[in-house]
Amino acid sequence: MARITASVYTSHVPAIGAAIDLKKTGEAYWQPLFKGYEYSKQWMKENTPDVIFLVYNDHATAFSLDMIPTFAIGTAAEFAPADEGWGPRPVPKVIGHPELASHIAQSVIQDDFDLTIVNKMDVDHGLTVPLSLMCGEPQAWPCAVIPFAVNVVQYPVPSGRRCFQLGQAIRRAVASYDDDLKVQIWGTGGMSHQLQGARAGLINAEWDNRFLDRLIDDPAGLSEVPHIEYVREAGSEGIELVMWLIARGAMADIDGGPRPTVKHRFFHVPASNTAVGHLILENN
């Protein structure tokens, strides 16, 4: 039986990828940020799963206004890093897990969540930056990755409640897979940021830290926060945070199991225009 061993939460700022790729991680601006992920890289080495189910958002890279899936699961054998305007990041291609991804699609769709099945897709900074932060700069990523793209770019976006319930369905799907696989689920994007309009540059560290507290201790209550509060308090791009509720919904305690252990918590401003938040929760 496959099982979810841990969940990881992290922001995905593209400038973080550029800092890594251009060897700027030691610069004064970036050093405190990367210091916050040193523990995480070591933890990842000691707790390498077989598969990462990586919840992220595409930024009009693989999708566009032509086609806007709310929830899209990557069932391909591999996914190439996307060209986002400066050429593809020089990172390894992402190796998928078509069997587990197809099983999750079958289970979750029969469990009443409508997923778009994607057999061909490039993956942008939303997916590659979290991998770089957690795994460093390996020749190949240490395990298979199932990309799971959520529309948080073009309205209407899914509610936190829907995302939290979807996480619970993903948990049931993983638990009903026959092979004995260790699976991590990652929720990425956020925290507070706004890239456009009169409030561009908005950061709300107090609200972000309250979000982290509640994600740990009161995820069901947090899932009831309406989308307008994300936008008002965390900026127009702060809505990316609903993706963290998918990962949290897949943890054992939501299904009557023991509470997870907080292995790591980190928060840092500034990183480009975004408040960076990061958590590692282990199932017990």
Stretch that binds ligand DHB, among 19-27, 173-181, 252-260, 269-277 (CB under 6 A): 269-277
Distance CA 240, CA 48 (A): 26
Stretch that binds ligand DHB, among 7-15, 85-93, 204-212, 228-236 (CB under 6 A): 7-15
Residues acting as catalytic residues? 125, 193
Residue 151: which of 57, 243, 84 has the closest Cα?
Answer: 57
Nearer to ligand DHB, 10 or 283 (CB): 10
Distance CA 152, CA 71 (A): 10
Distance CA 148, CA 115 (A): 10
CA distances from 164 to 36, 123, 195 (A): 27, 23, 26
Binders in 66-85 for ligand DHB, by CB under 6 A: none
Nearest approach, Cβ of 120 to ligand DHB (angstroms)? 22
Nearer to ligand DHB, 132 or 274 (CB): 274
The pattern of x and - marking residues 192 through 211 that bind ligand DHB according to CB under 6 A reads: -x-x----------------
Stretch that binds ligand DHB, among 172-180, 208-216, 243-251, 272-280 (CB under 6 A): 272-280
Nearest approach, Cβ of 129 to ligand DHB (angstroms)? 9
The reply on whether position 272 binds ligand DHB by CB under 6 A is yes
The reply on whether position 59 binds ligand DHB by CB under 6 A is yes
List, in sequence order, every beta strand (DSSP E) within 87-188.
94-95, 116-118, 144-150, 182-188
Distance CA 204, CA 195 (A): 14
Binders in 8-47 for ligand DHB, by CB under 6 A: 12-15
Among 123, 273, 278, 283, binds ligand DHB (CB under 6 A): 273
Nearer to ligand DHB, 2 or 133 (CB): 133
Stretch that binds ligand DHB, among 66-74, 174-182, 253-261, 268-276 (CB under 6 A): 268-276
Nearer to ligand DHB, 25 or 272 (CB): 272
Name every residue whose Cβ is closer than 8 Å to that of residue 252 and which is 6 or more positions away in sequence.
4, 171, 258, 260, 283, 284
Residue with tokens 């943890």: 251
Among 71, 237, 243, 260, binds ligand DHB (CB under 6 A): 237
The reply on whether position 274 binds ligand DHB by CB under 6 A is yes
Nearest approach, Cβ of 223 to ligand DHB (angstroms)? 21
Burial zone of 111 (CB within 10 Å; 0-12 exposed, 13-18 middle, 19+ buried): middle
The reply on whether position 58 binds ligand DHB by CB under 6 A is no
CA 209 to chain centroid: 18
Name every residue whose Cβ is closer than 8 Å to that of residue 94 and which is 6 or more positions away in sequence.
78, 79, 80, 81, 123, 127, 128, 131, 141, 145, 147
**Which structure tokens are listed for 17?**
């990828």
Residues that bind ligand DHB (CB under 6 A): 12-15, 59, 193, 195, 237, 272-274
